[in-house]
Amino acid sequence: MIRWLVVGAGHAGKCHIAAIDQVIGAELVGVVDTNADIDANAPIFDNLAAAIAETKPTAVIIATPNDTQLALARVAIDAGLPVLCEKPVCNSFEDAKKLALFSDQSKVPVGVVLNQRAQLHSRWIKGLVHSGVFRPEQAVFSANLPRLTGWHADPTRSGGGLLRTVGLHYIDLLIWWLGRPSLKYAKLSGSPQENKIDVAVEFSASCRAQINITAVHEIGSGPVKCTLESKSACLEMHGHEIMSVDGLPEPPPLEPIGEGLFFGPGHQVVVEEATASLAQSKGFPINVMDVFPALSLIEEIYAGGRS
């Protein structure tokens, strides 16, 4: 049994709490959060070190604001506990690299929650691309989303705006599917933190991709849409659901979404696979360095893409 201690009970933390409850071989032994009024069916603590001492967890999930993740992860690592950290991992690429160094020096694994990769349809697309069945020549991610609020809207805490907090998911998917791209242009609008991103990249596989996402209250929100096209095939995905395919094999059936998993099925898959991997002393399926290519591209965009 893997005994999970969850640090942070905001939206992502609640997804992890719900996922642990539904995963065989996983047990929630405690939650660390400054809000004591949490319905978690587990003891609530306001201090990570005290929670570790009392609950004796097997591993820790960190789902707190980005600017707190490095220090909290260090507490868990110093206690010898594997850490599963919510993306984007800290509030800067430099701090993410420090976390990777702590992990390497201590030989304590650090994993990253990339729940978009964990979705069945994302993996189906990756399989089509890597087997050569589908060679997309154009990829577009687009959405109108609610405006960022709370600490997400504070760039000193989040390390950026829409690009880092939301766009990272889709930059990471593109890199995971197609490899490291070259940046063609990036336009980020909004101050002090962007609420509109327009990014274009190109891949050596002769594919051009765009990410166009706006987050403002005045526009109705909806799921992020993904369109992948080649001369002979096309697919469209809304969130984790394949809406249409043309010229491709039949997609897998829609995944069920467990109670409390309001970001889709990915968090449960992440916890399932992390639990199984830790039970076999294998670390995490996605480690902290796996997100470095996406973080590096985001740093490049921030260095020269803001308008």
pLDDT at 307: 40
> Above 80 in pLDDT, residue 205?
no
What does the alpha-carbon distance between residue 289 and residue 266 come to, in Å, rounded to a whole number? 20
Query: What digits encode the pLDDT tens for the residues 86-142?
Result: 999 999 999 999 999 999 999 999 999 999 999 999 999 999 999 999 999 999 999
Domain annotation for the chain: domains and CATH numbers: 2-115+263-287 (3.40.50.720), 117-243+293-304 (3.30.360.10)
Average pLDDT over residues 3-15: 95
Average pLDDT over residues 289-293: 97
Query: What digits encode the pLDDT tens for the residues 244-271?
Result: 999 999 999 988 888 888 888 999 999 9
> Above 90 in pLDDT, residue 170?
yes
Number of Cβ atoms within 10 Å of the Cβ of 15: 26
Lowest mean pLDDT among 46-55, 149-158, 257-266: 257-266
Average pLDDT over residues 185-192: 87
Average pLDDT over residues 197-219: 89
> Above 60 in pLDDT, residue 208?
yes
Average pLDDT over residues 270-294: 97
Query: What digits encode the pLDDT tens for the residues 72-84?
Result: 999 999 999 999 9
pLDDT at 35: 80
Query: What digits encode the pLDDT tens for the residues 85-101?
Result: 999 999 999 999 999 99
- Percent residues over pLDDT 70 in the chain: 98
Strands 207-215 and 196-203: antiparallel
DSSP bridge partners of 186: 199
Strands 182-189 and 196-203: antiparallel
37 falls in which pLDDT band (50, 70, 90)?
confident
Residues 6 or more apart whose CB falls under 8 angstroms from that of 148 comprise 158, 161, 162, 165, 193, 195, 215
Tokens of 305: 């893409």
> Above 70 in pLDDT, residue 200?
yes
**Averaged pLDDT of the chain:** 93
Give the residue carrying structure tokens 């740093």: 299
Average pLDDT over residues 158-170: 94
Angle 93-106/292-304 helices, nearest 10 degrees? 160
Would you say the C-alpha torsion 252, 257, 261, 264 has a positive or negative sign?
Answer: positive
Average pLDDT over residues 154-180: 95
36 falls in which pLDDT band (50, 70, 90)?
low
Query: What digits encode the pLDDT tens for the residues 215-242?
Result: 987 777 789 999 999 999 999 999 989 9
211 falls in which pLDDT band (50, 70, 90)?
very high
